[in-house]
Amino acid sequence: MTSHLAGVDAVLSVRNLTVTFGSFTAVDSISFDLHPGRTLAVVGESGSGKSVTALSIMRLVELGSRGRITGGEILFRSPDGSVIDLVRTEEEEMRHIRGNQISMIFQEPLTSLNPVYTVGNQVAEAVMLHQGLDADAARKRAVEMFELVRIPNPNERLDQYPHEMSGGMRQRVMIAMALSCDPTVLIADEPTTALDVTIQAQILGLMRDLQDETGASVIMITHDMGVVAEVADEVVVMNRSKVVETGTVYEIFENPAQEYTRSLLAAVPRLGSMSGTAAPARFDLVGVSDDSGSAGQGLS
Amino acid sequence: MASVQDAEVLVGPLGALAPADSEIAGPPGRQALRMFLRNRAAVFGVILFVAVLLMTIFGPMFYDNDASDIVARPVLAPGADGAPPLGTDYLGRDVLAGVISGGRVSLLVAAMAALMVVFIGVTIGATAGYYGGWVDTVLMRFTEFFQVLPALLFAMVIVALFTPSIATISVAIGLVAWPSIARLTRAEFLRLKNLEYVKAARAIGAGDWSIMSRVIFPNALPPLIVSASLLMGAALLFEAGLAFLGLSDPNTLSWGLMIGLNRANFLSAWWSVTFPGLAIFVTVLSFSLIGDGLQDAFNPKLRGR
C-alpha cells in the first residue's frame, strides 16, 4: 500500500478518491500528486467537487454534512519520512496531523475567526495545541507569525477582536494560524474569493512569498484561472466530480487537451476582446449541457 | 461628545455610522454590558436585586429577632403598640425577621435550582446538538419525556419521596425545569457547529471537547444567560408554590412557607401574608427586568418589540 510513494517524491498523493453524499457522488475516483514545495491548483466551477476534495484530505468531510469517503486512498508523507494513508487514519491521529502537518485556509475570512476571542489568542491556541508551548511562548510565536504575514504593529493587532480587522487582515491572521506549526501541506480553499481585487493580489503575493520562505507545498482550490496563472505549478481541472485534465500550468494554458479546459480558459475575459461590440454582452454558461462536446462553444 | 458631533459634520450622511463604530470596539461582552447599563429598567432590576440580596445577607446583623421566636402577642398589626415593624403573625412571630431569613432560603433554592437546570440542560442540549444523529434523537426524546410531565405534580412526587429540604427542593425544581434550557442549548449548538470558525478550529486540530467548551459554548452563552436569569425568577416562584402547598422543610422558613402558614389568617392579619408576597414579587420582578435587559443587550435586533 505504501509502495506508491516510495518511488515518487510526492508529499501527498490522492489515489482514486471517491466521496459520496448519500447516493450522490461528489468526488468520483480522482487522482493527483502534490510535489514538495510546489503549488497545485485544483480548478473547476461550483459543485465540481474541489472543496469536497480539500475537506477529504483534512478528513473533515464527514463533519456535519454526512459525506463519506467510500474509496481510494490519500497517501501523505509526514516530515519523518513515513507514509500514511489519511483515509484509514484514526481520528485521534488525524487531530495531531490537522493544523500541525496539514493545515487549511478557508474561503471566508470574515467568518472563520471566532468572534469571542482575540486574534492573537486564536493563533496562540493552535501553537499551544500542537507544540505544547506555554501561554507566553505561544504569544511570542503569534507575534512572529503576524510579522511573517506582514501584519503591521503585531503586538497591538494581537489583542484585537476579529470584528476590529478588515477582511484582508483577517485572511492574514488565518494564514498565520495555518502556518504557525510549520505544516508540510497547506490547503487554501478559495482564499481570495471573498476579498476585493487589490487585496486578492496582496494575499496571493504573500502566499507565494511564504511558500518560498517556509517550503510548504500548497493545494490551491479556486475557480479563477487568473489565480491559477499567478500561483500554480501544476493544475488539476475538475468537472462534475471528475478530474478532466492534469498538467503543468504551461501545458494547461498553452495547450489544453480537453474541450472543458478550453472553455474554462475562454471564460476569462481578455482586455480588448469585446472591442467593437456593444457592451454588456451576454456570456454563455460553461459546461451546462450534458455532452461535454458542446460545452462552452458559445464563446468562440 | 464634541468629537462625535465633529465627525457627524465631517462625514455627513455616514456620520451615523461613526459613533456606532466606535461603540462596538472592544470585546462583544463589554459592548453588551454598555447596552445593559444604558437600559434603565434593567439597572432598576439590578438595584432591586442587590437590595434584596443585601437585606437577606446583612439583615440579621442589624435586626436580631429570630424568625422562629415568639416576640410579641399574636396578630399585632404593623405600627401597633409594642409590635415589630411589620407586625406579628398568628403565633406572635416577627414578620420582618421571617422575611429576612426566609429570603435566604428562597434565594438559595432559586440559585441552586437554576444552577442545576443549567448544568443538566447545557450538558444534554450541547451533546445532542453537537453530535446530532442518533445521539440527538435519543436525547431529545428523553427531553420531551420530561417536558410533558406535569411539572408541579412531578416536583411534588420527588419532594414527597425524599425528605423535604433545601437540597431536595432544588433538585426537584432542577429536574422539572431543564428541558427548555436543553432545547435552547441544542438549537444554539446546531446553529453554531456548522459555522466556518468551528470548521477552522477543527482544521487546526482541536478535539470535540475543546470545540464544544471553548469554541461553541462561549458563542452560545448570551441566550443561556438570559434564560438563566429568567429561570431564577421562575424557580423562586416554583419554590414558593411548593412551600405554600406544605412541601418544604417545615423547619426552614421561606417566603412561600410564610404565606402558606398564614393563609388562614389572611383577612385578620393581612401583613403576615402581604410582606412575604411582596418580597417574592420584588425579587421575581428584578430577575425579569435583568433578564429582559440582558436579552436586549445581547440581541439589539429585538429592541422595541
Task: Name the range with the highest mean pLDDT among A210-219, A243-252, B178-187, B204-213.
Answer: B178-187
DSSP three-state, residue A161: coil
Quick check: A3 pLDDT over 70? no
Task: Dump pLDDT digits (tens) for B194-250.
Answer: 888 898 888 888 888 989 998 999 888 888 988 888 888 888 898 888 888 888 887
Query: Cα–Cα distance between B66 and A110 in angstroms, integer?
Result: 61
Beta strands at A234-239 and A185-189: parallel, antiparallel or unpaired: unpaired
Cell of B78: 404593623
Q: Which residue type sits at B93? A: R
How many Cβ contacts (< 8 angstroms) between chains A and B?
Answer: 77
Task: Dump pLDDT digits (tens) for B26-77.
Answer: 566 777 888 888 888 999 999 999 999 998 888 888 887 787 777 777 777 7
pLDDT at B12 (0 to 100): 36
Tell me the shortest Cα–Cα distance from B14 to chain A, in angstroms. 19
Chain B stretch 192-221, residues whose beta carbon is closer than 8 A to a beta carbon of chain A: 193-197, 199-207, 210, 215, 218-219
Cell of A286: 460553461
Q: Provide residues of A within 8 Å CB-CB of chain B.
A: 58, 60, 63-64, 95-100, 103-104, 106-108, 111-118, 125-126, 129-130, 161, 163-164, 174, 177-178
| pLDDT band (50, 70, 90) for residue A279 | low
DSSP three-state, residue A229: helix
Tell me the shortest Cα–Cα distance from A224 to chain B, in angstroms. 22
Task: Dump pLDDT digits (tens) for A90-148.
Answer: 888 888 888 889 999 888 888 888 888 889 988 898 888 888 888 888 999 999 889 88
C-alpha torsion sign, points B295, B297, B301, B305:
positive
Task: Dump pLDDT digits (tens) for B2-38.
Answer: 443 333 333 333 333 333 333 444 566 777 888 888 8
Chain B stretch 78-137, residues whose beta carbon is closer than 8 A to a beta carbon of chain A: 132
- Average pLDDT for B133-143: 93
Query: Cα–Cα distance between B2 and B5 in angstroms, integer?
Result: 5
Quick check: A296 pLDDT over 70? no
DSSP three-state, residue A228: helix
| pLDDT band (50, 70, 90) for residue A18 | very high
Of B194, B204, B218, the CB nearest to A99: B204
What ipTM does the predicted assembly reach? 0.79
pLDDT at B23 (0 to 100): 41
pLDDT at B138 (0 to 100): 95
Overall size of chain B counted in residues: 305
Q: Which residues of B touch A174 (CB under 8 A)?
A: 200
Query: Cα–Cα distance between A12 and A32 in angstroms, integer?
Result: 8
| pLDDT band (50, 70, 90) for residue A51 | confident
List strands edge to edge, sheet with A234-239. Answer: A102-105, A185-189, A217-222, A39-43, A234-239, A242-248
- Side-chain half-sphere exposure of B128, counting CA atoms within 13 A: 24
pLDDT at A294 (0 to 100): 40
Q: Which residue type sits at A274? A: M
Residue ranges with strand state E in chain A: 12-21, 24-34, 39-43, 67-77, 83-85, 102-105, 185-189, 217-222, 234-239, 242-248
Whole-angstrom CA distances from B121 to A234, B125, B157, B208, B229 are 52, 6, 21, 19, 14
Quick check: A285 pLDDT over 80? no
Query: Cα–Cα distance between A41 and B149 in angstroms, integer?
Result: 58
Q: Which residues of B touch A64 (CB under 8 A)?
A: 132, 193-194
Cell of A96: 495531531
pLDDT at A283 (0 to 100): 64
Residue B302, Cβ density class (10 Å: 0-12 exposed, 13-18 middle, ≥19 buried): exposed
Q: Which residues of A touch B27 (CB under 8 A)?
A: 116, 118, 161
Cα of B30 vs its chain's centroid, Å: 21
pLDDT at B120 (0 to 100): 94
Task: Dump pLDDT digits (tens) for A203-231.
Answer: 888 888 888 888 889 999 988 888 888 88
pLDDT at A267 (0 to 100): 76
Taking Cα atoms as reference points, which of A208, A211, A216 lies closest to residue A192? A208
**What backbone torsions phi and psi does residue B39 show, to the nearest 5 degrees?**
-90, 110
Cβ neighbours of residue A78 closer than 8 Å, sequence gap 6 or more: A84, A97, A101, A184
- Mean of the per-residue pLDDT values for chain B? 82
Quick check: B119 pLDDT over 90? yes
Beta strands at A83-85 and A67-77: parallel, antiparallel or unpaired: antiparallel
Q: Is B150 an 8 Å CB contact of chain A?
A: no
Residue A299, Cβ density class (10 Å: 0-12 exposed, 13-18 middle, ≥19 buried): middle
CB contact under 8 A, A130 and B205: yes
Which residue is associated with the grid cell 485544483?
A42
- Mean of the per-residue pLDDT values for chain A? 83
CA dihedral of A201, A204, A209, A211, whole degrees rounded to 10? -170
Task: Dump pLDDT digits (tens) for B189-200.
Answer: 999 988 888 988
Taking Cα atoms as reference points, which of A127, A152, A153 lies closest to residue A140? A127
Beta strands at A217-222 and A185-189: parallel, antiparallel or unpaired: parallel
pLDDT at B286 (0 to 100): 94
- Average pLDDT for B116-122: 93
